[in-house]
Amino acid sequence: MLGGLFTAPFRRFQTLSGKAQDDARFWALKDIDFDIQQGEVLGVIGKNGAGKSTLLKILSRITSPTLGRVVIRGRVASLLEVGTGFHPELTGRENIFLNGSILGMAKKDIDCRFDEIVSFAEIEKFVDTPVKRYSSGMYVRLAFAVAAHLEPDILIVDEVLAVGDASFQNKCLGKMQDVIGEGRTILFVSHNMQAIQGLCPSVCLLENGEIAGLGPSKEVVSQYLSRNASCKNEMSWNEDNCPGNQELKLLGIRVTSATGVPGSSFLTSDETFVEFSFELRKKISGLCIGFDLVDEGGCVVLRSYQTDMAPNETPAVRLGFNRFTCVIPGGLLNGGRYFVSPRIGVHNFHWIVYLDSILTFELALNHGISPYWNSLSHKSRPGIIAPLFDWKSVG
């Protein structure tokens, strides 16, 4: 279905002083060349700005390559961002038929799948409402339902699923498993390394517009996490380059010991601290400050937000400078290497800061020592975590 030749260079120009300068030329993608065969599932990963979305837009024929060519055999359905391919003035019903027609489907074929699409998207009450009145969640649900149920030969899905709630994301991943079982070709971009490894046997890692890795998912994900963190235990930004938007700026993040000293190596028996420094410029309703803790295999061990506390204990977010610290208790995590991915956003709506594995630290296993288990000679126990449970004799 998709018989490659992504011989790129694809490019775009940066304009300085209103003129395109040759020495200011920026290549969004460069020397991209690979094939995807019928029925293959390929994950695409990389940091923000690596060229992932540009690649998918070229494959979806939204953007034309400056040089090179793309050879695609089969019908393509794309889910790249909220509302892609929808006409805001048309209703949900009309947009379903419009998208089906664009894919070359007959009206009777769309009719057969219409009820299933509406049910999956959970928009039964609003199917005849113009989609410009939909919430972002309704938009995403309908867009994914249309893309997955109209039986394209090739399905291209970007990280747009990240804006949905957990139950919807699981529902989408389940549907994608069904699509894979039907032998269709999928390109899947995600920052969720666990989902990437669960769905995609092979992964392509993009870095600065070039392929930095292409191969089995476990190997490439491990390569990505190690490269991304670069053994840093502390990061800070200035006003010009700090992550965020006009309402919130992330100024710094670090991993420290109980004494507040940044470090890259700790004991599992001791508390470890993740500290955020940020500036709030405008009150944001539903603001969540948090992070994912990711293990060496790309599995999200946990996600924590400041809003996980009881209402009367949740730290107040003030206008201006804020510094929050999350305490990871001792005796919980297993030994090994961990990565910290900041996650700041508005609950179930949109992300303000979404950075992958920018910090890393090591934990040496030193709890749970017994005469039968010399933990100091082991990096970890079996399992993702190594909590200390209470054992009692009841006989």
Whether the Cβ atoms of residue 273 and residue 327 lie closer than 8 Å to each other = yes
Confidence of residue 229 (pLDDT cuts 50, 70, 90): low
Confidence of residue 219 (pLDDT cuts 50, 70, 90): confident
pLDDT, mean of residues 150-160:
78
* 337-350: burial string, b at 16+ Cβ within 10 Å, e else: bbbbbbbbbeeeee
More confident residue, 386 or 325: 325
Burial class (CB in 10 A: 0-12, 13-18, 19+), 240: exposed
Please write the tens of the pLDDT for every residue from 67-118.
Answer: 888 888 888 877 776 556 688 899 999 999 988 887 677 888 889 989 999 9
Q: Is the pLDDT at 284 greater than 50, yes or no?
A: yes
Please write the tens of the pLDDT for every residue from 17-47.
Answer: 444 444 567 788 888 888 888 889 999 998 8
pLDDT confidence of residue 128: 94
Closest CA to 88 of 152, 134, 137: 134
CA–CA dist 331, 383 (Å, integer): 14
More confident residue, 394 or 81: 394
pLDDT, mean of residues 249-256:
95
Residue 360 CA: distances (Å) to CA of 100, 231, 292, 294: 46, 6, 12, 9
Q: What are phi and psi of 219, to 5 degrees?
A: -70, -45
pLDDT, mean of residues 47-75:
84
- Other CB atoms within a 10 A radius of the CB of residue 269 amount to 17
What average pLDDT does the structure give for the chain?
Answer: 82
pLDDT confidence of residue 93: 93
The domain segmentation of the chain, as residue ranges, is 10-228, 234-375
Whether the Cβ atoms of residue 263 and residue 361 lie closer than 8 Å to each other = yes
Q: 10-228 and 234-375: same fold?
A: no
More confident residue, 103 or 65: 65
User: In the structure encoding, which two tokens stand for residue 177, read together?
Assistant: 């498993």
Residue 94 CA: distances (Å) to CA of 84, 89, 127: 15, 10, 9
pLDDT confidence of residue 12: 38
* CATH H-level superfamily of 10-228: P-loop containing nucleotide triphosphate hydrolases (3.40.50.300)
Return the residue matching tokens 């990871």: 328
- The CATH topology of domain 234-375 is Coagulation Factor XIII; Chain A, domain 1 (2.70.50)
Please write the tens of the pLDDT for every residue from 116-139.
Answer: 999 988 889 999 999 889 887 788
pLDDT confidence of residue 15: 36
More confident residue, 12 or 290: 290
CA–CA dist 72, 1 (Å, integer): 6
Q: How many residues does the chain have?
A: 395
State how beta strands 265-267 and 359-364 pair: parallel
